[in-house]
Amino acid sequence: MDDKESPGRREEEPRGAYRLSDPVVAERFMALEALGHNSSDVIVVLNHGGFVVYGNPVAQQFFELSAEEGVGTDALGLIHPDDHDRVLQGFVGLMERPGGSIRESLRVVTPSGLEKELELVATNSFDNPAIGGVLVNGQDVTQRNRDQAELVSLAERFRVAFAENMAPMTFTDLEDRIIDVNDAMCEMVGYAREELVGRDSTTFTYVEDVGITEESHRRALAGTAPQTRYVKRYRRKDGRVITVEVSRATAVGPDGAPQYFVFSERDITEERKMTAELSKRALHDPLTGLANRSLFEDRLDQAHARARRHGGFGAVLLIDLDDFKGVNDTYGHVIGDELLAAIADRLRRVARSTDTLCRFGGDEFLVLVEEIASADQARVIAERVLEEMVAPFSLRGTTFVQRASIGVAIFDPSAEDVSTLVQSADIALYEAKRQGRGRAVVFTPSMHQEAVSRFTLAQDLSLAVERGEMSMAFQPIIDLANGEVVGYESLMRWHHPERGAVPPDVFIPLAEQSNLIYDLGAFALRAAAEGMTRLPRTDGYPPYVTVNLSARQFHDRNLPQLVAGALRHHDVAPHRLLLEITESVALEDITESLAIIEELTNLGVGIALDDFGTGFSSLSYLVQLRPRAIKIDQSFVRPAAPSPQSDAILELILLLGRKLGVMMIAEGIETPAQYNRLRGVNCRYGQGFLWSPAVRLDEVEDLIARLGESPPIDHSRRRRGRMSERHVVDE
């Protein structure tokens, strides 16, 4: 804004500016220029109209105007519009006071659009020959004000971040004494600010965790951990212990030396409880509270590692409840669950502190036994478990007798891998059940080979029907009075292409463990119905045929439909078919059994109770079941120690059958002496090897011929006749 015109210029300056050709004026501005060039302040001179007549280089730079652009500029146009009124009012007042001055802070908008801030003193110097106008002396305070605003903002942010922060915060000095705390910290520990400032954190730190704070402080001072995070416990003023996550940061000075410490803390007491609860749920069975499979496997790995380091034996006990399904089916799953929980409590009684109890799933439990001296000790522990199960369980007014079977697998320091221990225990459990349940069996390597063999056999069995390897054999049922064949028991046979004949007591249990039993049952019904169309008549009367049903087959709701379909397909009269079930199967769920029997009876099919006398032999249930036939178990036919008492029991069973009008059939007759004994107590029907084992369908006619030509029993005085109408009806 310096006038670059020559002193001889005579044109009038715009907007009433001074005429610089005036020697006095020129001399005056020469002095002012000398002053302005050497000043670091913004220096501007305004005339009566508020127009710029002079601006030093600092002013030119501040307003972003050259000397030519600045001279004659309306100063009000350089000021932020929001400040116009205030500045104009001050300028008018100043013009009325020669020698007076005003102090202002205003904002300036430069041609480039920048907003700057100017702090100035304006002096009315019209009476000063050296000035002759309003002298404005100002300082650019843009950056200073911005810095101050930032400091204010930082202070406000700090206030919000510290004083009003919901997270507990603390400042401590280099000796870890508290400089300041916020309200959230006071609330967390239960102390007032005045009770904490000047003291260290041992005031509220749980005594056993003081060392955690000291170690963190030492590392912070050493500079090895300027920022640390750790967990410790506090004891509140009211005595309650809480768990806190602490974050410590070190504030350093310009020289990098620590100045003070900043702590941000978080009460994680409830979080820890929730985490512990979630962890427990993830690793424990919710019903019994015992370890689940994941936790058990981890404990097993740890036990194996300890055994390899320190020696000794360990064992896995797999416990399976015998016939637990009957509890659920009879009393419902609520009672079943309560029984499982009660069994878990029994296991806790016998378990040692070093043992791990696990609910493996369903009605199976696992026990990990550590630090035992030998395999015999594991067997002793298993026997103790079985003894604990002997006492009845009482739940909701109902008493239960619940037995269990146990498979035991042993490991020692030489074991390379324990991942198959549970599998080995399961194999031993299978053997325990095979031997009669309610017992403990220790795994041996030979059992594994047997398990592999069973598995392979089960795979072959799944294809046996499709490959035509299954067939039905027929054992005659004899009228003991005259030696006539009145019926046949159909028995399934499996001829394996490589193993040859596989006994039913081998493949039937395999089928029972899977749905194969349904396929075999359907085959047996179809084959028996077909056999009835081909079996020779006796004295013109068609024989009946019995078919054995397993528990799963009998309780299958599709059984009546399956039976009806087989009979209809082969056009066989329903009364010729008897379905054999054991007492235990019938009484497993008496309500369901009666419903199934009623459906079968409506079809015309009869029920035969097999192995009678070995189960419950409840007379009241016997009346409800109304069987058409009862098959007397061979233990009564050929008792281990014959005696008058055994004869009396047999006679009573037969008398019961006659009173109920039920056909009584004695099983397992092998000798003439046994036959004579049965005839002596008036037993009418029987079967056994005395006459014939089960034979193929195409061998039945030859069998009948042989019996007719050379009967095993002399029936010279026998009377011929057919069975009563109750048992066989002429087609």
Q: What is the predicted pLDDT for the residue at 27?
A: 59
d(CA 202, CA 211): 10
- Of 158-172, 205-219, 594-608, 648-662, least confident by mean pLDDT is 158-172
- Of 579-583, 585-589, 693-697, least confident by mean pLDDT is 585-589
CB atoms within 10 A of CB 503: 9
- Of 255-269, 424-438, 613-627, least confident by mean pLDDT is 613-627
Q: What is the pLDDT of residues 16-30, one digit of tens each?
A: 333 343 455 555 666
Mean pLDDT of 320-349: 89
pLDDT(707) > 70: yes
Q: What is the predicted pLDDT for the residue at 253?
A: 80
Mean pLDDT of 357-370: 92
Reference 133, options 260, 59, 29, 220; nearest CA is: 29
Q: What is the pLDDT of residues 148-176, one digit of tens each?
A: 777 677 767 777 777 778 889 988 888 88
d(CA 731, CA 669): 30
Confidence of residue 358 (pLDDT cuts 50, 70, 90): very high
Indicate left, alpha or beta for 469 from its phi (over 0: left) and psi (-120 to 50: alpha): alpha
Mean pLDDT of 187-206: 91
Between the alpha carbon of residue 407 and those of residues 6, 321, 468, the distances in Å are 120, 12, 37
d(CA 383, CA 406): 9
CB contact burial 509-537 (16+ within 10 A = b; e otherwise): bbbeeeebbbbbbbbbbbbbbbbbeebee
Helices (H) and strands (E) in the chain, counts: 26, 27
∠ CA 208-210-214 to the nearest 5 degrees?
145
Q: Is 459 exposed, middle or buried (0-12, 13-18, 19+ CB in 10 A)?
A: exposed
List domains and CATH numbers for the chain: 14-146 (3.30.450.20), 165-273 (3.30.450.20), 284-443 (3.30.70.270), 473-709 (3.20.20.450)
pLDDT(147) > 50: yes
Report if pTM > 0.75: no
Mean pLDDT of 542-564: 91
∠ CA 158-160-165 to the nearest 5 degrees?
110
Q: What is the pLDDT of residues 658-684, one digit of tens each?
A: 888 999 999 999 999 999 999 988 899
pLDDT(398) > 80: yes
CB atoms within 10 A of CB 448: 15
Q: What is the predicted pLDDT for the residue at 445?
A: 86
Mean pLDDT of 640-663: 84
Mean pLDDT of 504-530: 89
Q: What is the predicted pLDDT for the residue at 629?
A: 93
Confidence of residue 212 (pLDDT cuts 50, 70, 90): confident
d(CA 711, CA 699): 17
d(CA 700, CA 488): 10
Confidence of residue 614 (pLDDT cuts 50, 70, 90): low
Q: What is the pLDDT of residues 288-319, one digit of tens each?
A: 999 999 899 999 999 888 888 888 889 999 99
- Of 360-369, 583-592, 608-617, 693-702, least confident by mean pLDDT is 608-617
